[in-house]
């Protein structure tokens, strides 16, 4: 199984970053606007599921697996026939006056890593550009 690991320092407090990450139904407005263009929540499922529409037009269903406020950690799994396995986690940690955001994903088939890694890096860059602005969240 391929593991992808990306991290970035963001010029916003951990509480502000976590508040936006934790608001898992607002990716398109609070966390990565422009990178994600729509997010809807399906609470009728056994798991809380968000349907994410990316700027590329790709649409993925993501099951929310865990939200840990104490560790500032969100875990989700992609629920899509084209992905055999995906488990993603974002953690927000203090780093000086800002935050270190750590995003890890385990994927199968391994070949998906080459597709997912640049998207994860771009997502973090969008997050940093958006949340690093005064009054962003």
Considering only CA atoms, which of 135, 96, 126, 118 is closest in space to residue 4? 118
112-131 helix and 14-22 helix, angle to the nearest 10 degrees: 120
pLDDT of residue 3: 98
- Given a cut of 90, whether residue 115 has pLDDT beyond it is yes
Model confidence, pTM: 0.92
pLDDT of residue 47: 74
pLDDT of residue 137: 53
Contacts of 115 (CB under 8 A, 6+ apart): none
Cβ-contact 104, 88 below 8 angstroms: yes
pLDDT of residue 9: 96
- Given a cut of 70, whether residue 119 has pLDDT beyond it is yes
Tokens of 49: 């599921």
CA 54/CA 44 separation, integer angstroms: 23
**27-85, pLDDT tens digit by residue?**
999 999 999 999 999 876 667 899 999 999 999 999 999 999 999 999 999 998 889 99
pLDDT of residue 42: 87
Arithmetic mean of pLDDT, 22-31: 95
pLDDT of residue 89: 98
Which residue in the block uniquely carries the two structure tokens 């407090």?
13
Percent of the chain whose predicted confidence (pLDDT) is above 70: 95
Query: Domain 2-131 - what CATH class?
Result: alpha beta
pLDDT of residue 46: 67
């Amino acid at each position: 199984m391929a593991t992808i690991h990306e991290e970035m320092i963001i010029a916003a407090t951990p509480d502000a970053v976590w508040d936006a990450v934790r608001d898992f139904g607002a990716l398109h407005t609070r966390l990565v606007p422009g990178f994600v263009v729509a997010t809807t929540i399906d609470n009728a499922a056994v798991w809380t599921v968000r349907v994410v529409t990316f700027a590329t037009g790709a649409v993925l269903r993501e099951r929310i697996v865990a939200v840990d406020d104490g560790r500032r950690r969100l875990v989700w799994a992609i629920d899509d026939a084209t992905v055999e396995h995906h488990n993603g986690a974002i953690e927000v940690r203090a780093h000086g006056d800002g935050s270190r955001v750590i995003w890890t994903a385990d994927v199968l088939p391994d070949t998906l890593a080459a597709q997912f890694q640049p998207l994860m890096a771009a997502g973090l860059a969008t997050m940093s550009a958006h949340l690093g602005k005064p009054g962003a969240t």
